[in-house]
């Protein structure tokens, strides 16, 4: 039994089958992007163990094909097992060994990346300063004690804790937060709209601006904009309730909404913090993008968007940034531009996008513990392939030289000429 | 004679290539070549008028010349010159290509089925074309870029015609307003009107009473040149010394600037002299104006632009890719004839031509790199050129090592095919267009793109070798065991080579993506395409090492490699999604499908048992022949 398992997991046949399945998976995953979008394909095809099919009109999940994780796992097992079983160092196979070692590193590195990579965005307006980046999809409910003019005290709850009826408590706050209602995706609604379900608050902006639920989306180019009605409750009873939503905090949604509301509710700023006072301290409450605070700050000195003369083809995007890190004694100007990211304190800052009218820059911030793995793997694999290729070429040249010698000829003479002679003979055969 | 055959072939084709390097003779005394070399700014880059002419004409008519019913064809430059300065002559030239029968039907009964139309033949239909386009655009509102991809053949042809007419109208207004009779005189009047007109404008601004005639005149000029500034296409007026190097302007904008500065730009006068003398058939004056403008530009900091214009003009003249394409066909034919009559001088002549074509191909590739200041592959067009070049190099090496004509046929075929593909890709416009920000990096273009494209080239070489194996083995008795063995060694070796390049290229691409987008791998269609090639090579190699496939299996798999490579090279661009979809082409789709079907048919042949193969049936080692039964190809044809 064990022997059969070993045979199965070390067989070349398994390698070939897995590689063929991988080809089908990648091909299918590429075509599926046309309809599903990249984000959904990534999670359904590549970051999954099985691909499910849901027949129209049902809720069944029928597994139809192995997903990326499963194929990768079996291939990796196969690769490692085969090498353990057959490992015997030969100079002839040094290249192959290197290639496979590099492959293990590459796949392992990608696995670590998929598991532990953190991506966020840093949006800075020209002249503005930021000391945090924001998650592009994850949100948090933040309660900020702003009483002390020098220092804010921030308490955050991840969005996944928000659910209708949930009660959020922490010793950091002298009150609890009760989630009275929560929509994973929402649209703004005025008092006059006929929506059946609406979030209305007794305090803050939510008295005038309502939100109704919307179907959630998983497309790459769309994002969910949750909204919740949250009540602050102390031991003595309710303090008040507020509507919070990323519609009010995430760029560019708040800009669009502000433009739309400008004429309907003149003088109302939707980005103004919603605050309340309790026991002599002032708090602000907001549902916002999850933030990653840094021990340093960045100021956008200038943003450049160059085009080729007489066209609107972009030539370059670049941000001139002032980096100020008192802890590390760093205080310098940096230019971040296309293909030239900034690497600082384990994070990489890329020029990703910009605000319309070049008003500000958007940097993508990536923290990836395995960011070096592909670089090293690439070197090892390239070296291995080169060694292997040269070994083969040398062997081929030797063989040619030998066969030429045995034929008593100059090595540069055509060794394969007889094949055509043989050809002619075949023609003459009495068939 | 036989010994000299290679040299004669090379001398003949070489002389033909070199004839292109000789500057064209003046036509009716006009130094058009001198005009064609003059630099302008278009699509963000300095290029000569000659390139403007070729790219415009190609995009309108799909040809680089204008055929006439009587007399020799017009070159692109001659056509442009007429369009710029003798629009009523140009209006009679058939440069508008209409392919869809329904659109042709619109042109009226007497004009149906012509395919190529002149502007005069279209004038009655302009309104209905405009109406239809408006309707189409209106129906597509709110669909964004998606809409253009969903158009049907008729709508695409309609839009192409509309865009061609639009471009033509802009060209007619690029050197002078298309209704001007003598632009030189007009500019003299303009200059005379400038000072009094500006004074009158100032007075009326201050509320004083101004000379109404002066005012009227300058306002008329303003309106005229304001419209011209919106129509004129290439920016022909260079920056003056002291202005930024990029500050070119079109003729209309420049004349409007004269309203502010009170002075005409020297180039205005030179160009007006050229257009008027061309219109009035005064060659001496025309040549004089071209020479004077050159001299002026030389002395005013425009020497680099003049040089760029002259070099690109030369590059256009020698047409290295067209000429090497023709020589590739000649080499391919000689290779095929050699297979039939086994005449060694023919093979040697073929190899000599192949090397000549390769040298010309390399000159073209190198010249392009030099003009652009870029590594060889910057867009889909140049990837086709590079794949042909790489495949040809491999083919020459194979032919030198193995003799036998196989390398000749492979290199000739792939060289010719890829250059044909490149020619069709060039129809969509300037092939030396500027690179978008993310691509603007010579380091990664030189490494990732070149390595991946070399991988494509070697995949196609392996695939074509396998096709030769299958076709010769199945249909003829010429696939002797020795040839079969050496073909299989070639395929195996090149698959290894392709693995090396595809793998390293793909990983380099990942590293580039990591540098510019912040992730090593994102499952983008183009990335997946490259990965498919790597995976398929891995399958071939492992299946062979594991003894799962033998010779014919290897061949079948190598042919399937053609399908995967063509999907990666072209197919993913047709999906029109992803970060890499810089160019969308749907005309190629039927071709791609046809290619894939043909490859599948070959694979079908390859996996038929050996007893159906003409060569193996004939071979003594295959056992006693089963009788004079011909391979039953009729079943396969269906």
d(CA B467, CA A398): 29
Query: Is residue A107 a part of any domain in this protein?
Result: no
pLDDT at B626 over 60: no
Q: Tokens in use for A195?
A: 């929506």
Burial class, A13, CB count within 10 angstroms (exposed 0-12 / middle 13-18 / buried 19+) = middle
Burial class, B635, CB count within 10 angstroms (exposed 0-12 / middle 13-18 / buried 19+) = exposed
Residues A183 and A269 in one domain: yes
**A416 vs B486: CB contact, 8 Å cut-off?**
yes
Residues A41 and A148 in one domain: no
Residues A299 and A286 in one domain: no
**What would the pLDDT profile of B331-388 be if each residue is shown by its tens digit?**
999 999 998 888 888 999 999 999 999 999 999 999 999 998 888 988 889 999 999 9
Query: How many Å separate Cα B540 from the centre of its chain?
Result: 34
d(CA B379, CA B382): 5
Residues A286 and A298 in one domain: no
Residues A197 and A262 in one domain: yes
Q: Considering only alpha carbons, which residue of chain B is nearest residue A427?
A: B477
Nearest to A12 among B444, B546, B577 (CB): B546
d(CA B592, CA B569): 11
Q: Tokens in use for B355?
A: 């090397």
Query: Is residue A414 a part of any domain in this protein?
Result: no
d(CA A287, CA A378): 43
Residues A286 and A142 in one domain: yes
Query: Is residue A255 a part of any domain in this protein?
Result: yes
**A19 vs B535: CB contact, 8 Å cut-off?**
yes
Q: Considering only alpha carbons, which residue of chain B is nearest residue A342?
A: B515
What sign results for the dihedral spanned by CA atoms B168, B576, B414, B446?
Answer: positive
Work out the number of other CB atoms within 10 angstroms of the CB of residue A423: 22
Domain count, chain A: 3
pLDDT at A431 over 70: no
User: Residue B235 has what DSSP assignment?
Assistant: B
User: In the prediction, which pLDDT does A4 show?
Assistant: 87
In chain B, residues with a C-beta closer than 8 Å to the C-beta of A416 are: 402-404, 482-483, 486
Residues A272 and A154 in one domain: yes
pLDDT band at A407 (very low <50, low <70, confident <90, very high): low
Q: Tokens in use for B504?
A: 């390293």
CB B507 within 8 A of CB A381: yes
Query: Is residue A102 a part of any domain in this protein?
Result: no
Report which secondary-structure segment, H or E, holds B636.
helix B634-637
**What would the pLDDT profile of A284-303 be if each residue is shown by its tens digit?**
999 999 999 999 999 999 99
pLDDT at A430 over 60: no
- Lowest-confidence region among A275-279, A387-391, B380-384: A387-391
In chain B, residues with a C-beta closer than 8 Å to the C-beta of A348 are: 518
Three-state DSSP state, B243: coil
**B618 vs A110: CB contact, 8 Å cut-off?**
no
- Phi-psi category of residue B523: left, alpha or beta, with phi > 0 → left and psi -120 to 50 → alpha: left
Query: Is residue A382 a part of any domain in this protein?
Result: no
**What would the pLDDT profile of B586-597 be if each residue is shown by its tens digit?**
667 788 889 999
Residues A256 and A305 in one domain: no
Work out the number of other CB atoms within 10 angstroms of the CB of residue B22: 9
Q: Does the bond joining B442 to the residue before it have cis omega, within 30 degrees of 0?
A: no
pLDDT at A192 over 70: no
- Give the mean pLDDT of A257-279: 81
Parent domain of A41: 2-87
Looking at A292, A326, A342, the residue that finishes a domain is A292
Q: Across all residues in chain A, what is the average pLDDT?
A: 83
pLDDT at B470 over 50: yes
- Lowest-confidence region among A157-161, A213-217, B75-79, B607-611: A213-217
Partner residues linked to A51 by β-bridges: A65
Task: Cite the beta strand spans of A279-383 per DSSP E.
Answer: 281-307, 314-325, 330-337, 342-344, 347-354, 360-367
Looking at A270, A292, A314, the residue that finishes a domain is A292
CB B533 within 8 A of CB B564: yes
In Å, how far are A302, B99, B131, B166, B583 from B162, measured between CA atoms? 42, 13, 11, 6, 21
The pTM for the full model equals 0.83
Query: Is residue A383 a part of any domain in this protein?
Result: no
Partner residues linked to A336 by β-bridges: A319
**What would the pLDDT profile of A42-66 be if each residue is shown by its tens digit?**
888 988 899 988 888 888 888 899 9
Q: Considering only alpha carbons, which residue of chain A is nearest residue B473?
A: A423
Chains A, B: CB contacts within 8 A come to: 198
**B539 vs A366: CB contact, 8 Å cut-off?**
no
- Give the mean pLDDT of A270-285: 88
Query: Is residue A312 a part of any domain in this protein?
Result: yes
- Lowest-confidence region among A175-179, A274-278, B209-213, B631-635: B631-635
Test mutation, A38, A388, A394, A420, chain B, max B CBs within 10 A:
A420
Residues A264 and A302 in one domain: no
Test mutation, B538, B547, B574, chain A, max A CBs within 10 A:
B538
Nearest to B404 among A317, A419, A427 (CB): A419
More reliable by pLDDT, B636 or A379: A379
Residues A17 and A151 in one domain: no
**A106 vs B507: CB contact, 8 Å cut-off?**
yes
d(CA B163, CA B446): 35
User: In the prediction, which pLDDT does B438 show?
Assistant: 73
In chain A, residues with a C-beta closer than 8 Å to the C-beta of B497 are: 389
User: What are the φ/ψ torsions at residue B90 (nearest 5 degrees)?
Assistant: -65, -30
User: In the prediction, which pLDDT does B207 show?
Assistant: 80
User: What are the φ/ψ torsions at residue B424 (nearest 5 degrees)?
Assistant: -70, -30
pLDDT band at A39 (very low <50, low <70, confident <90, very high): confident
Looking at A348, A367, A386, the residue that finishes a domain is A367
Q: Tokens in use for B617?
A: 């049936």
d(CA A287, CA A229): 10
In Å, how far are A12, A303, B161, B227, B513 from B172, measured between CA atoms? 68, 39, 16, 13, 44
Residues A303 and A362 in one domain: yes
Q: Nearest-CA distance from B615 to chain A in Å?
A: 9
Residues A320 and A306 in one domain: yes
Query: Is residue A341 a part of any domain in this protein?
Result: yes
């Amino acid at each position: 039994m064990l022997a059969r398992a070993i045979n199965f997991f070390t067989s070349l046949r398994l390698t070939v089958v897995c590689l063929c399945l991988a080809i089908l998976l990648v091909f299918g995953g590429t075509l599926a992007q046309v309809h599903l979008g990249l984000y959904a394909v990534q999670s359904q095809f590549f970051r999954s163990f099985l691909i499910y099919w849901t027949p129209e009109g049902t809720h069944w999940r029928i597994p139809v094909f192995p997903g990326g994780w499963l194929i990768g796992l079996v291939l990796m097992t196969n690769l490692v097992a085969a090498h353990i079983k057959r490992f015997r160092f030969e100079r002839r196979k040094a290249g192959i060994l290197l290639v496979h070692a590099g492959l293990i590193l590459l796949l392992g590195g990608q696995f670590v990346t998929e598991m532990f990579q953190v991506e966020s965005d840093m949006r800075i307006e020209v002249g503005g300063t930021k000391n945090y980046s924001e998650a592009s999809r994850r949100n948090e409910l933040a309660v900020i004690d702003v009483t002390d003019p020098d220092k804010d005290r921030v308490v955050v709850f991840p969005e996944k804790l928000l659910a209708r009826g949930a009660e959020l408590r922490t010793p950091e706050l002298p009150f609890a937060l009760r989630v009275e209602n929560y929509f994973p995706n929402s649209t703004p609604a005025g008092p006059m709209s006929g929506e059946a379900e609406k979030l209305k608050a007794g305090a803050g902006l939510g008295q005038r601006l309502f939100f109704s639920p919307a179907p959630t989306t998983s497309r790459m180019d769309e994002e969910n904009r949750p909204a919740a009605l949250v009540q602050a409750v102390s031991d003595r009873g309710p303090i008040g309730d507020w509507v919070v939503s990323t519609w009010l905090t995430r760029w560019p949604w708040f800009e669009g909404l502000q433009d739309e509301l400008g004429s309907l509710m003149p003088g109302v700023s939707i980005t103004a913090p919603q605050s309340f006072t309790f026991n002599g301290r002032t708090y602000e409450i907001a549902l916002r993008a999850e933030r990653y605070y840094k021990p340093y700050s960045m100021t956008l000195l200038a943003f450049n968007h160059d085009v080729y003369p007489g066209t609107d083809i972009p030539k370059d995007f670049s941000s001139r940034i002032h980096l100020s890190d008192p802890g590390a004694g760093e205080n310098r100007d940096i230019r971040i531009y296309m293909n030239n990211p900034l690497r600082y304190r384990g994070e990489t800052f890329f020029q990703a996008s910009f605000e319309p009218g070049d008003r500000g820059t958007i940097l993508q911030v990536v923290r990836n513990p395995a960011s070096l793995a592909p670089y090293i793997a690439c070197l090892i694999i390239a070296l291995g392939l080169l060694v292997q290729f040269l070994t083969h070429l040398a062997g081929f040249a030797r063989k040619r030289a030998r066969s030429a010698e045995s034929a008593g000829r100059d090595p540069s003479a055509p060794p394969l000429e007889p094949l055509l002679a043989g050809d002619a003979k075949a023609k003459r055969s009495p068939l | 004679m036989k010994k000299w055959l290679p040299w004669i072939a090379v001398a003949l084709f070489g002389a033909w290539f070199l004839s292109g390097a000789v500057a064209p003779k003046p036509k009716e005394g006009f130094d058009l070549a001198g005009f064609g070399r003059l630099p302008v700014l278009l699509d963000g880059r300095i290029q000569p008028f000659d390139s403007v002419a070729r790219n415009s004409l190609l995009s309108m008519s799909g040809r680089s010349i204008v055929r006439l019913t009587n007399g020799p064809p017009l070159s692109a430059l001659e056509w442009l010159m007429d369009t710029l300065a003798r629009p009523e002559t140009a209006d009679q030239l058939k440069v508008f290509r209409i392919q869809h029968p329904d659109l042709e039907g619109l042109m009226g009964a007497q004009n149906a089925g012509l395919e190529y139309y002149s502007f005069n033949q279209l004038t009655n239909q302009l309104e209905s074309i405009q109406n239809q386009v408006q309707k189409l655009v209106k129906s597509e509102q709110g669909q964004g870029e998606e809409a253009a991809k969903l158009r049907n053949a008729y709508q695409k042809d309609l839009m192409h015609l509309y865009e061609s007419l639009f471009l033509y109208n802009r060209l007619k207004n690029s050197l002078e307003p298309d209704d001007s009779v003598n632009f030189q005189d007009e500019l003299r009047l303009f200059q005379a009107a400038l000072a009094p007109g500006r004074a009158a404008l100032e007075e009326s601004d201050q509320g004083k009473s101004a000379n109404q005639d002066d005012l009227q005149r300058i306002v008329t000029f303003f309106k005229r040149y304001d419209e011209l500034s919106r129509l004129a296409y290439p920016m022909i007026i260079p920056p003056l010394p002291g202005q930024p190097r990029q500050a070119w302007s079109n003729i209309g904008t420049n004349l409007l600037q004269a309203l502010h500065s009170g002075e005409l730009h020297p180039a205005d006068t030179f160009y007006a002299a050229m257009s008027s003398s061309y219109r009035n058939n005064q060659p001496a004056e025309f040549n004089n104006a071209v020479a004077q403008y050159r001299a002026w530009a030389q002395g005013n900091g425009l020497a680099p632009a003049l040089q760029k214009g002259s070099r690109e003009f030369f590059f256009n003249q020698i047409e290295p890719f067209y000429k090497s394409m023709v020589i590739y066909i000649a080499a391919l034919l000689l290779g095929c004839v050699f297979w039939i009559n086994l005449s060694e001088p023919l093979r040697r002549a073929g190899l000599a031509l192949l090397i000549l074509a390769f040298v010309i191909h390399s000159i073209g590739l190198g010249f392009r790199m030099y003009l652009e200041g870029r590594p060889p592959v910057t867009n889909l067009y140049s990837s086709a050129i590079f794949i042909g070049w790489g495949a040809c190099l491999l083919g020459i090496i194979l032919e030198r090592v193995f003799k036998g004509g196989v390398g000749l046929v492979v290199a000739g075929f792939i060289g010719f095919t890829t250059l044909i593909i490149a020619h069709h890709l060039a129809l969509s416009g300037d092939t030396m267009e500027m690179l978008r920000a993310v691509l603007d990096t010579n380091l990664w273009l030189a490494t990732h793109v070149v390595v991946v494209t070399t991988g494509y080239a070697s995949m196609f070489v392996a695939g074509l070798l396998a096709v030769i194996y299958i076709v010769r083995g199945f249909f003829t008795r010429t696939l002797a065991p020795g040839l079969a063995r050496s073909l299989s060694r070639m395929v195996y070796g090149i698959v290894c080579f392709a693995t090396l390049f595809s793998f390293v290229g793909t990983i380099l691409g990942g590293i580039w993506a990591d540098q510019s987008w912040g992730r090593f791998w994102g499952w983008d269609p183009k990335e997946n395409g490259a990965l498919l090639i790597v995976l398929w090579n891995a399958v071939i190699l492992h299946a062979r090492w594991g003894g799962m496939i033998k010779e014919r299996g290897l061949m079948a798999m190598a042919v399937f490699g053609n399908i995967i490579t063509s999907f990666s090279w072209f197919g993913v661009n047709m999906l029109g999604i992803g970060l890499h979809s810089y160019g969308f082409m749907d005309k190629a789709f039927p071709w791609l499908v046809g290619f894939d079907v043909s490859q599948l048919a070959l694979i079908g042949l390859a996996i038929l048992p050996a007893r159906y193969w003409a060569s193996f049936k004939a071979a003594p080692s295959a056992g006693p022949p089963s009788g004079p039964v011909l391979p039953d190809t009729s079943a396969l044809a269906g």
